[in-house]
A and B are shown apart, each in its own frame.
Chain A
């Protein structure tokens, strides 16, 4: 495709338009350059891609269904809603797609140890799982606040043989876990690979994560063509750093008829300042190696993100999303904590599917969007994860006993 937007980024310097780049300490530069070379070689090696495909099918359980949510569609009375069931993956979310891919890559590179960060714990669990499977030593950094919110996932990681390190600095959430993981990587770079879990960080991470998550959109595209004989009118995904969204969007970016909607977490409301919507309420800046939209004050100090969903609780947006926003290809909107809770209950009651709080943002947005569209229109939603991990938080938020 001569005019492909999708294939035009990143540049060899790791830029998505003006976004992205490699803003990291020099100690990591060689590791990033090596990673890029190793990744390119791996993706051109049929043995590697076959091994990855094997694990995705036999271990993760792909492909995941594209489910027509008939009850939800009727309830909303607008466009037909399809759910891409990433919640049915092994470990309960899309995170495993990338974790398996990068763990196989690490093994190929001869790295014996893995470090990762986690917010909600889903990426941590996925990485711990991949490391148990592939016999890699694993340490996961997690903010002390998130550890409190996600006790069960901490225990799951420990059961899988991973060491969970509590991060007590800064806001004690995901961004601080990334800081700690980067520091650990700088110190142990020679035998350790960093499995970054979102479409963030220095080049080549946003590209690697995107490519390993693309399977979501690739499957969806084929499935909807089989079921409906045409492409959807709209595709919706929630965005924290943006891994499930970029995986879902990327195969549709060059399909001009498909509208793409990215849903940020508005927390208590954009106007309150307590949110995680960097595109709606942030400025351009550099954090964790990339130039992107970032929640920060006038002095360039990074601000804490706020969301009921720990997985969206990050102050930046991945560079490719920033680029797709700037060129007008993806439309960004946001959903508050309380709207997300309604979305979660709506899907639970209509379809018997308990979505993760992250994915509930996409459901809540779809509920609004579907009503504005005709019954002939089709929306596909990325249901990025299941909500079992959030039951405690949801119960507390809805006023139940904890």
Chain B
């Protein structure tokens, strides 16, 4: 079992749901990256998704896109982020999952990127514009170095495809909860329950729900359907506004969901 999966399984054993915040690396300056990661680690998150800014983030909504534009204005790049992670690697216990679009990885060079991930203690990689069909090259390069390639499943993925993605994904399966881009949603489709039931049946590894989850109530309701949640835009906004209480509330909503949902 990989480090990433292990961390999620442990939250399950403790009766909690996994809580994975997404941060935009270098939003507010690259010097904020270390304190942000250490603060989230202290709050007891399960893993941290470290987003890399990109000029053309097609899977992201306005909140993350604007955070990315702020980070780009600060001169943040994939190389620099991995170098910062390497600089305090010894202090990082929580698994880090890098979320980047594919082109910065290609420009870095796959081998060089893989080595920099190892140096930065990265445990997983999410590339939203590399679907299953194109993902082999990433697994070939990164698996041998102990880095998981997390694949996304969407509401539009048919059952046969869900099964193949679940079998290929590593660490966890990233279940996209909406048709659309990242960002807060007021509501979700009614048939999510069936979708997650099928997905969890098809998957040998944990299933985490992400996209649109922005309130403690949604953490609870989505957590009930899955093994945990990924919260992006709400975390990015809270960090931008310096509102740590909001993050605390989201994290604590993930604790004890398991017991509640089975009562």
Contacts and interface: CB of A to CB of B under 8 A. Distances in A.
Contact of B154 (A26, A287, A302): A26
A190 B180 CA distance: 11
Contact of B179 (A27, A182, A286, A289): A27
Given A22-B131, A30-B161, A298 B152 contact: no
Interface in A1-38: 13, 21-31
B58 A182 contact: yes
Contact of B130 (A23, A187, A285): A23
A279 B104 CA distance: 19
A23 B58 CA distance: 11
Contacts of B165: 26
Of A21, A29, A30, the most chain B CB neighbours within 10 A belong to A29
Interface string B142-176: 00000000011111111001000100000000001
Contact of A285 (B57, B61, B107): B107
A26 B152 contact: yes
A23 B102 contact: yes
Of B58, B101, B108, B176, the most chain A CB neighbours within 10 A belong to B58
Contact of B107 (A27, A182, A296): A296
Contacts of A302: 55-56, 103
A292 to B, nearest CB: 11
B125 interface: no
Contact of A30 (B79, B106, B157): B157
A24 B181 CA distance: 12
B248 to A, nearest CB: 31
Contact of A284 (B106, B130, B158): B106
A300 B65 contact: no
Interface residues of B, number: 42
B59 A23 contact: no
B181 A187 contact: yes
Interface in B43-80: 54-59, 61, 65, 69, 72, 77-79
B30 interface: no
Of B61, B108, B179, the most chain A CB neighbours within 10 A belong to B179
A167 B181 CA distance: 16
B103 A183 contact: no
Given A23-B102, A30-B156, A300-B78, A189 B181 contact: no
B105 interface: yes
Contacts of A111: none
A294 B152 contact: no
A294 B105 CA distance: 14
A25 B103 contact: no
A206 to B, nearest CB: 15
Contacts of B105: 300
Contacts of A283: 107
Nearest to B75: A299
Contact of B103 (A169, A170, A285): A285
Interface residues of A, number: 39
Contacts of B108: 299-300
A170 B55 contact: yes
Of A169, A176, A182, A301, the most chain B CB neighbours within 10 A belong to A301
A13 B133 CA distance: 8
Nearest to A289: B129
A227 B129 CA distance: 49
B128 interface: yes
Contact of B134 (A22, A176, A179, A294): A22
B176 A183 contact: no
A94 interface: no
A297 B75 CA distance: 12
A189 B103 contact: no
Interface string B179-208: 111000000000000000000000000000
Contact of A183 (B55, B58, B157): B58
Nearest to B128: A25
Interface string B103-140: 11111100000000000000000001111111000000
Contacts of A24: 58, 129, 131
A301 B55 contact: yes
B58 A179 contact: yes
B56 A175 contact: yes
Of B77, B107, B152, the most chain A CB neighbours within 10 A belong to B107
A27 B134 contact: no
Nearest to A187: B180
A288 B181 contact: no
Contact of B129 (A169, A286, A297): A286
A298 B75 CA distance: 13
A278 B179 CA distance: 33
Nearest to B151: A26
Interface string A176-192: 10010011001111100
Interface string A292-315: 001011111110000000000000
Interface string B6-46: 00000000000000000000000000000000000000000
B193 to A, nearest CB: 19
Interface of A: 13, 21-31, 169-170, 175-176, 179, 182-183, 186-190, 283-289, 294, 296-302
Given A296-B107, A301-B77, 10 more contacts: A21-B133, A21-B134, A24-B129, A26-B151, A26-B165, A169-B65, A169-B69, A179-B56, A299-B79, A299-B107
Interface of B: 54-59, 61, 65, 69, 72, 77-79, 101-108, 128-134, 151-158, 161, 165, 176, 179-181
10 contacts: A13-B133, A26-B153, A26-B156, A30-B161, A183-B180, A186-B179, A189-B156, A190-B179, A289-B129, A296-B103
